[in-house]
Structure 1
Amino acid sequence: MISAHGMGGGSDLPISASSAVVGGSAALTISFAVLLLAWRTPCLEGAGRQVRALPPLPPLTRLVDATATRASLRLLGLFVLAFSVWAALAGQDDVSSNPVFGIFYVLLWVGLVPASLFLGPVIKAVSPARSIAFALSTALRLDPRVGRWRLPAWVGLWPAALGLFAFVWTELVSPDGTALATVTTWLFGYLVVTVAGGVAFGATWFERADPFEVYSNLLAHLSPWRRNANGAIELVAPLRNLAGMPVRPGLLAVTSVLLGSTAFDSFSGSTAWLQFTQSTSANVTVVETFLLVGVCVLVGAAFWLATVLPSRTARVPAREMPGRLAHSMVPIIVGYMVAHYLTLLVESGQQTLIQASDPLGTGLNLFGTANHEVNIWLSLHPTFLATVKVIAIVTGHVLGVIAAHDRAIGLLPSRDHSTAQLPLLLVMVAYTFTGLYLLFGL
């Protein structure tokens, strides 16, 4: 269930896979050319704002901020945690029957993508680690918002990047990734680190170190919801919301892990790689670990070079440019996640909900879903699925180019608007080409 991502092959496209690759790269290049001619001042941020947020929504703000709403969401998070612990300790070590695997790899990891895009920072609202840390801080007479110490600013999002890498390594490389002991140990370690950090450093720790919360917050900046300076919820254009993402150390590392791990997942499922792993005498786990690290580093290094080297005339130090432009990778990440994990979320997500009614495999029907069957409509319509995947990747890259261009023209002198952005365009075209190439197994 976990490894079957429902990848539509190149033969499933209404056009040839090579045409999709070339067409996607061309669409990105044409979009950039149009932006250079028609988009000459920042429209998403700064003094040139042209996309206005709608008036705040006081009723929605009151509903979201209500004590009953917040308490209900916290209880939901704690219930899911308690349910998962119960299933992990008393259930069978079997992917086909125990819902813990689906909760961990599907609903939490993949499900937070649409949830954060449509609802905002959902992990922050339901996080059981936050709830436990709040209770411990209160018992220790500490302010849960501040903690005992202040987290240094230079730490940035680096702890979250490491946590995300630990997750994707467990999912994609670990030979025991579908063993109940592995998942249980990972979750226990995650809770210990996040709760202890929350008590020590307060809410700042969760915002910068919790891998799931950081990922959710990243995606929430592409949602249509945000809070204004007064804390009121307002409806806003997603790209303008994205432009308001705080720039912190480690942001590029986070996006590189997210994008690189998805590319690695595609490559590691290719026929050529499977043949290599079955024929080599080397330790496959070690080889794949180095490959995963290498892909993530390559993604980040290419972006860093494309943004720092041509930026000597920028209005900020060149070393800051990669972080300033890293937000443009978020739409690309979303495009890859949709393309790569759509079937997994829809079909394995259903399977997880079915398993949840009988977590111990003893014939229970706790939620009335035990007798349901998985709807595999997506798998039965490969042409539709393949088309959606191509559209998702190309759309994500086009939105990424728009976000990067809007930020770049505010940081670069007008004479360098085109030349300084060309390296980044080439990198994004390479991302598009490689993503479609891996996705359809050319």
Structure 2
Amino acid sequence: MGQLTVGRISAHGLGGAKDLPIPPELAIAGAVAALVVSFTVLAVAWREPRYDAATSGRTAPAWLDRLASSRALAVVLRVLGMAFFLYVAAAAVFGKDSLINPFLGSFYVILWVGLVPASLLLGPFFKAVSPARTISMLFAKVSGVPEGQGLYAYPARLGYWPAVLGLFSFVWLELVYPHSTDLGPVRLWCAAYLGIMLIGSAVWGTTFLARADPFEVYSSLVAKLSVWGHRDGVLVVRSPLANLATVVARPGLVGVVGVLFGSTAFDSFRESSDWLGIVQSMSVSRILPDTLALVAFSAGVALVLTAATMATGVTSDTPRRALPDLFAHSVVPIIVGYIVAHYLTFFVEYGQQTLIQLSDPFSRGDDYLGTADLQVNYWISLHPTFLAVTKVLAVVLGHVVGVVAAHDRAIKLLPPRHHLTGQLPLLMAMVGFTAGGLYLLFAS
């Protein structure tokens, strides 16, 4: 993705410390102070768990519930999702192998980055439009198999681990593979992804998609920060924190947040002058050191989270080994904060460029969608102070929400005498994430 546009580098960091109205050291110190103050306030004012999936949320208006659960809406969304998939697939197969091919922007920008705001606003958006789900449903209908059912039950012990592999393969393609903007490798990745999803859903049903599809798992996790949820099959409106508390802890959840957070941090790190100097001094291909660094960042986040959450007393009802997955939900707002900080400019500006390119999928001068004559608005890049402040606030807000989510879970799970002391290792980890993340954003 790094080679898609010359504006890509400015989309990662803060454009340099000069763009910020305060020194970067002060911004980092202020962010850390915000976390410590938030924890102190929570320790005094938040002494009972407040979020319960069985009772939280206000019932949505009846008409909205009927609309959201209607068969007609589901069919419309699946048709639109499939139509967009086929349109972009045609560009991938028959379009030119060039950066102006809208397939690349659709894959890296609209799909990967765009599913975050879509899921925040609409809930588990990708699940509703997933071409893999749609094709799987069509195959089931044609073969007479009950919808959602496979040959075998999905093994519970696998949890989200297949999604971890899928997510890592995507970020490796995006951030490490030197030909990530050539049509051939990206087409191959997409074909392999779709083939694995269809075979897996045939064997284990749509439960496989809910656990193994990297995009569906990512979207569904981010959707827990939206206001939309379900209770007993009824649409409810919840606060994002209450919704976040409904994340179900399954094996591999720590791995998912590790890859999502670690890869974003690595994307900043790989552009730093220190890392560029190291890889340029090596005699081997950059693929090897970048791959090792990506693994280190992803595994490092997961290991830090695991160690921080397990360094506490537990009750007999909660085994210590279960704590990392039970607290992993608190990293989701941190991930979203860094996605905003890291990709805001890229999403807004290259997203517009992709919309323009979609009118001409075969690079022949066509204007199928009527967008070919539109111009990209660079307002965000032209206001660097606004951009820098927005990015810092996104990171800080993400961490503060994460601290609140972790505190509520700790009050619910840990023994009373460990309610506060048991959170200190995780607080220290989040402080490290904040300082390190902001440092990388400034340094890139």
Name the TM-score class by shorter chain.
over 0.9
Separation in 2 of the partners of 1:287 and 1:91? 33
Among candidates 23, 28, 33, match of residue 35 of structure 2: 28
After the TM superposition, which residues 172-211 of structure 1 pair with which residues of structure 2 at under 5 Å, given as runs? 172-211=175-214
1:408 corresponds to: 410
- Corresponding residue number in structure 2 for 1:114: 117
Is contact 2:229-2:235 (8 Å) kept?
yes
Alpha-carbon offset, residue 144 of structure 1: 2.5
User: Is residue 2:141 matched to residue 1:138?
Assistant: yes
CA distance 1:5–1:125, shift in 2 (3 Å): farther
Change (3 A) 1:46 1:197: closer
Contact 1:330 1:400 in 2 (8 A): yes
- What CA distance in whole angstroms lies between the structure 1 residues aligned with 2:345 and 2:183? 23
8 Å contact 1:54–1:234 — kept in the other structure?
Answer: yes
SS of corresponding position for 2:229? strand
CA distance in 2, matches of 1:275, 1:411: 46
State the partner residue of 2:61: 57
| Deviation at residue 347 of structure 1 after TM alignment | 0.3
User: 2 CA distance for matches of 1:416 and 1:392?
Assistant: 30
Query: Structure 1: how far apart are the matches of 2:358 and 2:72?
Result: 26
Structure 2 residue aligned with 1:77? 81
Equivalent residue letter for 1:60? L
Deviation at residue 310 of structure 1 after TM alignment: 1.6
**Native 8 Å contact 1:314 1:413 kept in 2:** no
Query: Secondary structure in 2 aligned to 1:380?
Result: coil
Deviation at 1:314, TM superposition (A): 6.6
Cα distance in structure 2, aligned partners of 1:162 and 1:45: 31
**Runs of 4+ deviating beyond 3 Å:** 1-5, 311-315
> CA separation of 1:239/1:119 partners in 2, compared to 1, >3 Å: closer, same or farther?
same
| AA partner of residue 57 (structure 2) | A
With over 3 angstroms needed to count, the CA separation of the structure-2 counterparts of 1:111 and 1:46, relative to structure 1, is closer
Map Cα deviations across residues 175-227 of structure 1 (whole Å, 9 max, x no partner): 11111001100110010000111121112011101000000000111100011
1:268 and 1:397 map into 2 onto residues whose CA distance is 23
Q: 2 CA distance for matches of 1:169 and 1:265?
A: 10
Matched, 1:352 2:363: no
Please give the residue correspondences for 1:182-331 in structure 2 after superposition, counting only pairs within 5 Å: 182-229=185-232, 231-313=233-315, 315-331=317-333
Task: Please give the alpha-carbon distance, in whole angstroms, between the structure 2 residues aligned to 1:331 and 1:26.
Answer: 18
Q: Any conservation in 2 of the 1:315–1:412 contact (CA below 8 Å)?
A: no
Instruction: Report deviation, 1:54.
Output: 2.0
- Find the residue that maps to 1:149 and give its secondary structure: coil
Inter-partner Cα distance in structure 2 for 1:316 and 1:118: 34
SS in structure 1 opposite 2:422? coil
Q: TM-score, normalised by structure 1?
A: 0.96
d(CA) in 2 for partners of 1:212 and 1:61?
25
Is the Cα contact below 8 Å between 1:119 and 1:223 reproduced in 2? yes
2:378 matched to which residue of 1?
376
Q: 1:170 aligns with which of 168, 173, 177?
A: 173
Unaligned regions of 5+ residues in structure 2, if any? none
User: Residue 132 of structure 1: CA displacement?
Assistant: 0.6
Give me the identity figure in percent: 49
In structure 2, distance between residues paired with 1:159 and 1:143: 24
Work out whether residues 157 and 251 of structure 2, in 8 Å CA contact, stay in contact via their aligned partners in 1: yes
Does 2:101 correspond to 1:98?
yes
* Counterpart position of 2:19: 12
Q: Which moved more, 1:245-254 or 1:65-74?
A: 65-74
Deviation at 1:146, TM superposition (A): 1.6
Equivalent residue pairs, number: 437
Q: Bigger CA drift: 354-363 or 278-287? A: 278-287
CA distance in 1, matches of 2:420, 2:17: 34
Post-superposition offset of 1:393: 0.3
| 8 Å contact kept, 1:157–1:209 | yes
Offset at residue 313 of structure 1 (A)? 4.7
**Counterpart in 2 of 1:88?**
92
For residues 143 and 64 of structure 1, what CA distance do their matches in structure 2 show?
A: 23
Query: Could you say what secondary structure the match of 1:440 adopts?
Result: helix
Q: 1:24 to 1:80 in 2, by over 3 A?
A: same
Q: Larger deviation: 184-193 or 195-204?
A: 195-204
Report the 3-state secondary structure (helix = DSSP H, G, I; strand = E; otherwise coil) of the residue aligned with 2:191: helix
